[in-house]
Structure 1
Amino acid sequence: MKKILLLSDTHSYIDETILKYVAQADEVWHAGDIGDLIVTDTIKKLKPLRAVFGNIDDDKARMEFPLHNRFKCEDVDVWITHIGGYPGKYNQNIRSDLFLNPPNLFICGHSHILKVMFDKQHNFLHMNPGACGIHGFHNVRTMLRFVVDGEKIRDLEIVEIEKKN
């Protein structure tokens, strides 16, 4: 059993509130647009991190993190990428791979819009944790927490943090 904190679109921002949730997780997954690597370096000092780079990330982030991160967590096949789309509107650059070899859990960021949807047509769960940084159009900073237990994803919780301007 692993407690996961899923975040995205930090855009160089990390604070004590995010770190409080990091401390409660077994692993942290970041779905891109990290910004300054101080974000991921800070997280890695506390917990294991799996991440991908996003469209705003520089060469340093692109050298440290992949565009796609596919791995097993317990018995769940996970695929994280930054610009992935969502059911019915997946990114055309990944559609064929996604449909030929679907994961159990497909995660992306980019939109700054929190979405959790089950793709019935392709039989996998899609998650986008929204944005937990302070830059962007979103009014509330969001993250997701959940447990991976064997082949089950359970105890999903939305974390909402007031965005101070």
Structure 2
Amino acid sequence: MRIGVISDTHGLLRPEALSFLHGCDHIVHAGDIGRVEVVHALAGLAPLTAIRGNIDTGDWADAYPATATVALGGHRVHVLHDLKQLALDPAAAGLHAVIAGHSHAPRIDHVDGVLHLNPGSAGPRRFKLPVTVAEIRINGEGLHPRIVQLA
């Protein structure tokens, strides 16, 4: 199973991001969507889990929760925008992964046996940070994350 992970698009859905996400079994958007058209385009590629971030305001954003927990390939994945607002102990909650954006800095960590993934930002370049997306491959051996820099 291939899970595409994107965050902080801020209304910009790059063609390179769409190309990377093509063929995913599921897509996760970790907030700061920017425009409803972004989630519509992503949902046209694969089943989508999207949460709202701090810039997602207005009537369209009310359709998206602040957090979500979804089962993907037999693994429980918790999605929120800002990791600093994580209000639970992922290991104690039986989670296998936590996906968060907000910082625009791509990162893969493991904390108490739980994958923590920040795909970075796929939207407008911010500071000197790269423009990135991520994927998680799920197989019988577990979760295998990878961050990819877009051209």
So what's the TM-score if we normalise by structure 2?
0.90
1:160 aligns with 2:122: no
The letter of the residue matching 2:149 is E
Return 99-108 or 31-40, whichever deviates more.
Answer: 99-108
The letter of the residue matching 1:130 is G
Return 37-46 or 5-14, whichever deviates more.
Answer: 37-46
Return 21-30 or 35-44, whichever deviates more.
Answer: 21-30
User: 1-side partners of 2:115 and 2:147: how far apart?
Assistant: 15
2:125–2:131 contact (8 Å) kept in structure 1: no
Q: Which runs of 4+ in 1 moved over 2 A?
A: 59-62, 96-100, 135-139
Tell me the residue number matched to 1:50: 49
Larger radius of gyration: 1
Q: Quote how far apart the aligned CAs of 1:100 are.
A: 4.2
Tell me the residue number matched to 1:101: 93
Gaps of 5+ in 2: none
**Percent of residue pairs identical:** 28
Tell me the residue number matched to 1:60: 59
The letter of the residue matching 1:108 is A
1:7 aligns with 2:6: yes
1:75–1:151 contact (8 Å) kept in structure 2: no
Of the candidates 123, 127, 132, which is equivalent to residue 122 of structure 2?
A: 132
The letter of the residue matching 1:110 is H
1:115–1:130 contact (8 Å) kept in structure 2: yes
User: 2-side partners of 1:105 and 1:11: how far apart?
Assistant: 24
Tell me the residue number matched to 2:23: 24
2:36–2:61 contact (8 Å) kept in structure 1: no
2:29–2:51 contact (8 Å) kept in structure 1: yes
Return 98-107 or 26-35, whichever deviates more.
Answer: 98-107
Return 138-147 or 24-33, whichever deviates more.
Answer: 138-147
1:115 aligns with 2:101: no
By percentage of residues, which structure has more strand? 1
The letter of the residue matching 1:158 is I
Q: Quote how far apart the aligned CAs of 1:123 are.
A: 2.5
- Per-residue Cα deviation, 1:81-126 (whole angstroms, up to 9, x for no partner): 00113xxxxx3x61x454641411011000000110010xx33110
Q: Quote how far apart the aligned CAs of 1:139 are.
A: 3.4
User: 2-side partners of 1:61 and 1:135: how far apart?
Assistant: 24
So what's the TM-score if we normalise by structure 1?
0.83
